[in-house]
Chains A and B, each alone.
Chain A
Amino acid sequence: MAEIKYTDDHEYLNIEGDVATVGITKHAQEQLGDVVFVELPDVGKTVAKGDEAAVVESVKAAAEVYAPVSGEVIEANGDLEGNPGLVNEDPEGGAWFMKIKIADKSELEGMMDADGYAKFVAEQG
């Protein structure tokens, strides 16, 4: 069964087995506004938790997407390069950024579930 975790950098991880599908949350895209550019990591790249893994730019600003877990990037969502606006339309569905093969599942500990993240966003105002 898939399990969804959230980070305080407003990324989600949809975890199936040892693969995390990573993207930015609905709240994050709302804050960014109209997304006009996405830069993705190369497939095969090894990232460490906290590394800048991707870049998302809106009409307002550029933002980094950090690797929420360490591991190898096994897939990147090429659809976003041609259609960055998908990040606004379907952030937690079709607009995933990358799939990471998780090196160490203990890094998932302490991440928020959906309720925890909703509370976190509400508290941030």
Chain B
Amino acid sequence: MVPFAGYEMPVQYPLGVLNEHLHTRNKAGLFDVSHMGQAYLSGPDHETTAAALEALVPGEISKLGLGRMRYTMFLNDEGGILDDLMITRSIAAEDDGRLMLVVNAACKDADYAHMQAKLPDSVSLSPLEDRALLALQGPAAASVMAKWCPQAADMGFMTATSTQFNGNDCHVSRCGYTGEDGYEISVATDKAEQVAQTLLTHDDVEMIGLGARDSLRLEAGLCLYGHDIDETTSPVEADLVWSMSKRRREEGGFPGAERIQRELRDGPGRMRVGIKPEGKAPAREDTEIVDESGNKIGIVTSGGFGPSAEGPVAMGYVQSAYAAPGSGIGLMVRGEARPAHVVEMPIVPHRYYRKQK
């Protein structure tokens, strides 16, 4: 067990990091992510709530459909990232005007204070302190879920619904943090253990700890807040422009819009990239990245061994001249520049569910 954002969390379960990682890619892994912050943002109608949130994030919220989800980020006035989050518009028309947010555990108090300070009077924030969050991830996730929540099988990727799991009311979304198909189940704290134990009765399901969660999301090219993104990095530098719609990029109207529009126009000075070391030595966070003359050109922000990549993998920031896939770089590991190259992310391809039309 290790301390993590004020919670005691397991790095691994008895299976161990390596096998937990591979199990998730092959079958289904169950993650207890109840430490994450869940909250409702409620206003009189969707237009009002979306506009209030759009003043804080660069994502397209106003055009979000019923039961649809979006990944975005809170920005500071300099366009730096305060936190990244998931936003869901309720699927029920009678709940319209309400958005559900899921934010990082380490940032939740600051996020809530930030929103309280900025929201108009007509939109209120209510943290959901009595809700747990479980994630079921992997190619078997859909068949496992279908056993206790038949409605889940038919859900599109990045959609959410209010439903029941084995008779317990819950909020299920088809999303995740591993690059695999999967779900997140938000459920009352006093029902969470029962839901988890039920899922674990399935032969395909194993508990997965923080270690494998980290290697899975790293291979999938997904950012870990406080490491790959922070208050100094902009969404453009972090290669998260895909999360902003054309309208929002052009219109601005979010904190730090000036910097972000400038970086979109002129290109950022540095970029977050995927990195594959050529040898077998992993390059960990904070490893210096150098050019062929040994000049520092960047830094690794996440790195380790990728069990599915079958070798070391990393991500980090490099000067933009080195950001193209294939660029040769050096990684300073134990005083020696070790050859590596920039690669496309995700390093291990995503296998999100695509609904048949």
Contact = CB atoms under 8 A, between A and B. Distances in A.
Chain A interface size, as a band, is: 10 to 19
Interface in A13-61: 33-34, 36-37, 39, 55, 57-60
Contacts, number: 42
A34 B17 contact: yes
Interface string B276-290: 000011101000000
A36 B21 CA distance: 14
Nearest to B2: A60
A91 to B, nearest CB: 15
Contact of A60 (B17, B307, B334): B17
A8 interface: no
Contact of A37 (B19, B215, B281, B307): B281
Interface string B2-16: 000000000110001
B93 to A, nearest CB: 46
Interface residues of B, number: 18
Contacts of A59: 16-18, 21, 211, 215, 304-305, 307
B235 interface: no
Given A59-B17, A59-B211, A59-B304, A36 B11 contact: no
B312 interface: yes
B227 to A, nearest CB: 15
Given A57-B305, A59-B304, A33 B282 contact: no
Nearest to B334: A55
Nearest to B304: A59
Contacts of B16: 33-34, 59
Most B Cβ at <10 Å: residue of A39, A57, A59: A59
Contacts of B12: 33, 60
Interface of A: 33-34, 36-37, 39, 55, 57-60, 62, 81
The 6 closest A-B pairs by CB, nearest first: A34-B18, A36-B305, A59-B17, A37-B280, A59-B305, A59-B18
17 contacts: A33-B16, A33-B18, A34-B18, A34-B19, A37-B281, A37-B282, A39-B281, A39-B334, A57-B282, A57-B305, A59-B16, A59-B18, A59-B21, A59-B215, A60-B17, A62-B282, A81-B280
